[in-house]
Amino acid sequence: MRVALDATPLALTTGGLARYTAELSRALADRYPESDFVLLSDQAFTMPEPQTRNLRAGGHPRNALERRWWLWGVQRKMRRERSELFHGTNFAVPYVPLRPGVVTVHDLSPWMNPDWHHAAHRVRQRTPPLLGLRIATMIITPTQSVRAAVIERFRVPASSVVAVPHGASDVFRPAAPPVASPDAAPYFLYVGTLEPRKNLDGLIEAWREVRRRHSVDLVLAGRKRVDFNALPPEPGLRVRGEVSDTDLAQLYSGALALVYPSHYEGFGLPVLEAMQCGACVLISKDPALREVAGEAGVNLDDGQAWAEAMCAVASNAEWRSEWRAKSLERAREFSWTRTAQLTYDVYAEALKRF
């Protein structure tokens, strides 16, 4: 099979879309060495490492016609690469269905609250007709909850929508934290883009209440989006910004718990990464987060429930140990290899249906 994948998310330095595209393309190339995978975009992007013989980058648009990317450019690139199928990893496929198209709809947040996405106008305009007019042959969602929402909102046949869960990179394993100073405080950890949808204001308020009773810090790790208001300096609040995967594994492993109070998610990769590192996970009652964490996640509702749960974590080492074991057990059910296998099955079905 010869597959072209949308590499546009790889223009971002971090975040779930970039992680999904990089890990999936690597896993596909590794699991199916007889197939050919090419990453295409009209933007500059970073290739996943390590590069392999059957995972390549396509060239940039050559002329004005090809710069009309979704109408003409991607089709011309696919013809040169002899690609049989296109996988849109970020809500889009070519506008003219000359070949089978598979699109991943990660979540429905662009259509739920305009305050959550300051720059999602194109997705809101483009994706509904691609789905509703059946231009995409098959649709992938990361969870069953998103699958059900896609079927209902866009009125697409249930048989064309397949839930394929993500995995977590092998770098995310229990790791010894770096040597800290003797007076370093224990910490709760949030990982992800700093953006309005993640409910960080509510998290910080709950942590402040916890800090009145326990000497614990709150660490925020992730890229700050331009529409997120800067946080003023505050004792115990550590804004780390983007960190390497190695450092992130250490942060997960050393945290009292991962705290993920997001208003809405399609999957919640940091939750799985944290569980794979053996961290306790405190999550909101979002359906996708509950689906991913299963019985290993502590589901919380309002701010008071968050403060009480964080106090319990901070004061009870035996409780933490119990939930760490649950996290490791749950994480074993996920892998990028399994994601690649299930995705490849969707490719085969799209080729058969087209």
Stretch 303-324: mean pLDDT:
93
pLDDT band at 182 (very low <50, low <70, confident <90, very high): low
Structure-token pair, residue 313: 């974590």
Q: How far is CA 53 from the centre of its chain?
A: 26
| Backbone conformation region of residue 18, classed left if phi is above 0, alpha if psi is from -120 to 50, else beta | alpha
- What's the per-residue H, E or C state across 166-188? CCCCCCCCCCCCCCCCCCCCCEE
Whole-number pLDDT of residue 349: 98
Whole-number pLDDT of residue 48: 92
Whole-number pLDDT of residue 179: 61
Q: How far is CA 84 from the centre of its chain?
A: 26
Cβ-Cβ contacts under 8 Å for 189 (sequence gap 6 or more): 219, 221, 251, 252, 255, 256, 257, 258, 259, 274, 279
Q: Is the pLDDT of residue 5 over 90?
A: yes
What phi and psi, each to the nearest 5 degrees, are found at residue 304?
-65, -40
Whole-number pLDDT of residue 181: 59
For residue 44, the SS3 value is: coil
Stretch 300-319: mean pLDDT:
92
Whole-number pLDDT of residue 47: 94
Burial of 2 (0-12, 13-18, 19+ CB in 10 A): middle
Stretch 83-110: mean pLDDT:
95
Alpha helices by DSSP H, listed for 316-335, are 317-331
Whole-number pLDDT of residue 85: 97
Of 31, 26, 89, nearest to 55 by C-alpha is: 26
Average per-residue pLDDT for the chain: 92
d(CA 15, CA 270): 10
Q: Is the pLDDT of residue 178 over 90?
A: no
Report the share of the chain in percent with pLDDT over 90.
Answer: 77
d(CA 280, CA 105): 28
Candidate from 2-16, 84-98, 322-336 with smallest mean pLDDT: 2-16
Taking only the tens place, the pLDDT of each residue in 205-248 is 999 999 999 999 999 999 888 888 888 899 999 999 999 999 99
- List, in sequence order, every beta strand (DSSP E) within 64-216: 85-88, 101-104, 138-141, 161-163, 187-191
> What pTM, to 2 d.p., does this model score?
0.92
Contact 37, 56 (CB under 8 A): yes
Cβ-Cβ contacts under 8 Å for 331 (sequence gap 6 or more): 168, 272, 275, 276, 296
d(CA 151, CA 63): 38
Question: Which of the pair, 178 or 70, is modelled with greater confidence?
Answer: 70
Question: Which of the pair, 345 or 63, is modelled with greater confidence?
Answer: 345
Interior CA angle at 270 toward 107 and 238, to 5°? 120
Contact 163, 144 (CB under 8 A): yes
Tell me, what amino acid is at 26?
R
Residue keyed to tokens 């306790």:
280
Q: Is the pLDDT of residue 61 over 80?
A: no
Taking only the tens place, the pLDDT of each residue in 244-298 is 999 999 999 999 999 999 999 999 999 999 999 999 999 999 999 999 999 999 9
pLDDT band at 119 (very low <50, low <70, confident <90, very high): low
d(CA 143, CA 125): 23
Structure-token pair, residue 330: 């749950």
Whole-number pLDDT of residue 136: 96
Domains (range + CATH), the chain: 2-167+335-353 (3.40.50.2000), 187-331 (3.40.50.2000)
Contact 167, 332 (CB under 8 A): no
Question: What is the pairing mode between strands 281-284 and 297-300?
Answer: parallel
Structure-token pair, residue 245: 């995967």
Of 194, 198, 251, nearest to 223 by C-alpha is: 194
For residue 161, the SS3 value is: strand
d(CA 149, CA 34): 35
